[in-house]
Amino acid sequence: MPVSESTSSSRPRVGGATVRKAKLPDAVNIFELVNSLSGDGTLLRRNYAEICENVRDFTVAESESGVFLGCGALHLYGPHLAEVRSIVVKPEAKGQGAGGKLLHALLAEAEDQSVTCVSLFTRIPDFFFHFGFRVVDRTLLPDKIYKDCQTCPRLFALVLVRRRAFPSSKIVSVVLSAAKFGSC
């Protein structure tokens, strides 16, 4: 693992991080990373079988030497809506660009699929604001709410942000007062 000479840190250098579509062998790393952040409520816990079944939704980030740095998934509801899910990087890779590369890759995938709106639920919205996401009222995305959220233990604890998939599109339905819907 490369070491930053300027800070003598043991953090992997991510400047040369690459992203690619996940493969079934990546499921172990995805499972471990996603679930490592489920205890504090950052991410929802996922079982290994679920990750294996949905591995084609995932994109992974790797260092130049092939070390797994993070992952994110794009779930398609239809041409009108996709959701970014389980986007996370290892703590030692934060602030080095891997998360941004993952998000860009997922948005490019949504554009390739001709999706007109990309959404996500998060308890840490500041990162996503830098990429054009904005808080909106959850009722604007009934597909997501009725399909996935009714049995979620954190239905009212998540912040919903949304962005048009294409850079030229305008952001609609900005509701900044919807930043919190309750607490865990």
Distances (CA, A) of 36 to 32, 111, 145, 168: 6, 30, 25, 36
Give a yes or no: residue 11 inside a domain.
Answer: no
Query: pTM for this structure?
Result: 0.75
Q: In the structure encoding, which two tokens stand for residue 99, read together?
A: 């998360």
Asked if residues 101 and 15 have their Cβ atoms less than 8 Å apart, the reply is no
CATH code where residue 131 lies:
3.40.630.30
Domain count, the chain: 1
Distances (CA, A) of 88 to 37, 60, 85, 112: 9, 10, 9, 22
- Range(s) of the domain holding residue 108: 18-178
Give a yes or no: residue 183 inside a domain.
Answer: no
| Average pLDDT of every residue of the chain | 74
- Residues 4-52 pLDDT 10s: 333 333 444 445 789 999 999 999 999 999 999 887 777 778 999 999 9
Give a yes or no: residue 117 inside a domain.
Answer: yes
Q: How confident is the model at residue 164 (pLDDT cuts 50, 70, 90)?
A: low
